């Protein structure tokens, strides 16, 4: 009989993607894998071949609703469902207060968490492994795989498995319609310029320079959320195809999979492009460490730029703390560095 493992990784999109190789390692080792996830990652987890069951925690709904008896009832219902599974092992790779309660009360015999857990999350475990972030230059995917290592499962970087759910017929047809006027004789460069941290955004005039350089000889597609349209309008100069706010996560993955190259800052989009496996990816780093968060794989396919050269990098801060030269990191890399990387990868 298979042992049952619960993987607790609720959000964000990028972090959920970074845990897919861990889920695959557990599944391939013979475990039955259940994943507890929030709205931000449910499309990545549900129907993913690395997972046997996906259980949704509606964190977004609960936050919007505020403290309520209804939310508490829903919490207890999910907890009852978890305890009925009688898990052998639970792994908390979220390592925060919002995962503490699930780990502590899920009923698993072994409740594993890293010693670097924050916000009292260590209290939910009964087995504590060494910090999973051993070194500042250790790729985050390999860091999460240390949970598998602890269970005797070894995965080399070249053997990691990244999977996404299959796209539906309707999702594929929707993307077909979006791309129906694309000139297939030219490379497709998809640009996802925005992220949730202002400090992770690359200078918009650098974006404009790159776009002006490649627009005559490439198909340029822009993706993002509805709130990104102002930025896209500025950097695009009305060039290219703007699909911001028009796709869900799996439709976005389908667009990435049909692209020759995706360029994005350190964001869920950059990591989704990596998980899509087909496109080459240029990830732009400002305040976060490219050695840790950059797409893992061959330098002929995945390039991480920026994120070094200033004494304060990487700071991992949502808001720049410098009083002088504020947000200097957002101007790096230069537009020329990105242009040269694109030329190297697809021409």
pLDDT at 310: 81
Q: Could you give the domains of the chain?
A: 4-159 (3.40.50.2000), 169-346 (3.40.50.2000)
- C-alpha to C-alpha distance for 257 and 275, rounded to whole angstroms: 9
Residue with tokens 């042992």: 3
**If pLDDT is split at 50, 70 and 90, which confidence band does 224 have?**
very high
200, 329 contact by CB (below 8 A)? no
Q: How does pLDDT run across 158-182, given as a tens digit for each residue?
A: 899 999 999 999 999 999 999 999 9
Tokens representing 9 are 């990784």
pTM: 0.93
7, 22 contact by CB (below 8 A)? yes
Q: How does pLDDT run across 78-135, given as a tens digit for each residue?
A: 999 999 999 999 999 999 999 999 999 999 999 999 999 999 999 999 999 988 886 6
| Residues forming beta bridges with residue 57, ordered by sequence position | 38
Please say if the pLDDT value at position 137 is more than 80: no
66, 39 contact by CB (below 8 A)? no
| Residues forming beta bridges with residue 191, ordered by sequence position | 222, 263
């Amino acid at each position: 009989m298979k042992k049952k493992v619960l993987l607790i990784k609720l959000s964000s999109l990028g972090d959920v993607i970074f845990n897919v190789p861990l889920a695959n390692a557990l599944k391939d080792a013979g475990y039955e894998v259940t994943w507890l996830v929030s709205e931000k990652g449910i499309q990545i987890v549900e129907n993913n071949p690395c997972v046997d069951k996906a259980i949704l925690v509606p964190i977004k709904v609960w936050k919007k609703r505020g403290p309520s008896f209804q939310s508490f009832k829903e919490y207890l219902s999910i907890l009852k469902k978890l305890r009925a599974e009688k898990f052998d092992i639970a792994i908390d790779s979220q390592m925060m207060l919002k995962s503490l309660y699930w780990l502590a009360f899920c009923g698993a015999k072994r409740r594993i968490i890293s010693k670097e857990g924050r916000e009292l999350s260590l209290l939910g475990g009964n087995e504590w492994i060494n910090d999973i972030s051993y070194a500042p230059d250790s790729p985050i995917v390999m860091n999460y795989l240390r949970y598998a290592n602890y269970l005797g499962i070894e995965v080399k970087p070249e053997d990691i498995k990244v999977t996404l759910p299959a796209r539906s017929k309707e999702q594929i047809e929707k993307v077909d319609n979006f791309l129906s006027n694309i000139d297939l004789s030219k490379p497709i460069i998809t640009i996802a310029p925005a992220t949730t941290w202002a400090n992770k955004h690359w200078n918009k005039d650098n974006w404009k320079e790159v776009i002006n350089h490649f627009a005559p000889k490439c198909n340029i597609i822009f993706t993002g959320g509805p709130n990104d349209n102002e930025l896209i309008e500025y950097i695009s100069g009305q060039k290219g195809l703007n699909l911001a706010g028009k796709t869900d996560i799996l439709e976005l993955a389908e667009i990435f999979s049909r692209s020759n190259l995706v360029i994005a800052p350190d964001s869920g989009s950059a990591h989704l492009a990596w998980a899509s496996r087909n496109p080459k990816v240029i990830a732009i780093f400002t305040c976060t460490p490219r050695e840790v968060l950059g797409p893992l794989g061959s330098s002929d396919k995945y390039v991480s730029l920026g994120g070094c050269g200033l004494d304060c990098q990487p700071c991992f801060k949502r808001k720049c703390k410098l009083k002088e030269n504020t947000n200097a990191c957002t101007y790096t890399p230069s537009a020329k560095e990105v242009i040269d990387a694109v030329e190297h990868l697809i021409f």
